[in-house]
Amino acid sequence: MTTKKEPKTPTSFLYDAIVIGTGPGGEGVSMQLAKAGKKVAVVERYEAVGGGCTHWGTIPSKALRHSVSRLIEYNSSSLFADNHLSRSLTFADIMHHASGVVKSQTRLRSSFYDRNRVTLFHGEASFVDKHTLAITRADGSKDIVTAAQIVIATGSRPYCPSDIDFDHPRIYNSDTILSLDHDPKSIIVYGAGVIGSEYACIFRGMGVKVDLVNMRDRLLSFLDAEISDALSYHLWNNGVLIRHNESYTSVEGTDDAVILNLESGKRMKADCLLFANGRTGNTDSLNLDAIGLKADKRGQLRVDSNYQTEIENIYAVGDVIGYPSLASAAYNQGRFAAEAMLKGQTHSSLVEDIPTGIYTIPEISSVGKTEQELTAAKIPYEVGRAQFKHLARAQIASTQTGSLKILFHRETKEILGIHCFGERSSEIVHIGQAIMQQKDGGNTIEYFVNTTFNYPTMAEAYRVAAINGLNRIF
Homologous superfamily (CATH) of 171-277 is FAD/NAD(P)-binding domain (3.50.50.60)
Quick one: fold of 15-157+280-343? FAD/NAD(P)-binding domain (3.50.50)
- Written as tens digits, the pLDDT of the chain (474 aa) is 444 444 454 456 899 999 999 999 999 999 999 999 999 999 999 999 999 999 999 999 999 999 999 998 888 877 776 666 667 888 888 998 899 999 999 999 999 999 999 999 999 999 999 999 999 999 999 999 999 999 999 999 999 999 999 999 999 999 999 999 899 999 999 999 999 999 999 999 999 999 999 999 999 999 999 999 999 999 999 999 999 999 999 999 999 999 999 999 999 999 999 999 999 999 999 999 999 999 999 999 999 999 999 999 999 999 999 999 989 899 999 999 999 999 999 988 887 788 999 999 999 999 999 999 999 999 999 999 999 999 999 999 888 999 999 999 999 999 999 999 999 999 999 999 999 999 888 899 999 999 999 999 999 999 999 999 999 998
Domain boundaries along the sequence of the chain: 15-157+280-343, 171-277, 362-470
CA distances from residue 43 to 12, 25, 119 in whole angstroms, order as listed: 20, 13, 9
Q: What are phi and psi of 30, to 5 degrees?
A: -70, -40
CATH topology of domain 362-470: Enolase-like; domain 1 (3.30.390)
Distance CA 26, CA 51 (A): 9
Q: Which residues does residue 368 pair with via DSSP β-bridges, in sequence order?
A: 417
pLDDT of 312 reads: 96
Domains 15-157+280-343 and 171-277 agree in fold: yes
Dump strand ranges (E) for 304-428: 314-316, 356-358, 364-368, 381-387, 402-409, 415-422
* Residues found in the chain: 474
Look at the alpha carbons of 19, 54, 181, 198 in this order and tell me if their dihedral is positive or negative: positive
Q: Supply the pLDDT for residue 302.
A: 97
Of the candidates 330, 295, 422, 418, the one whose C-alpha atom is nearest the C-alpha of residue 366 is: 418
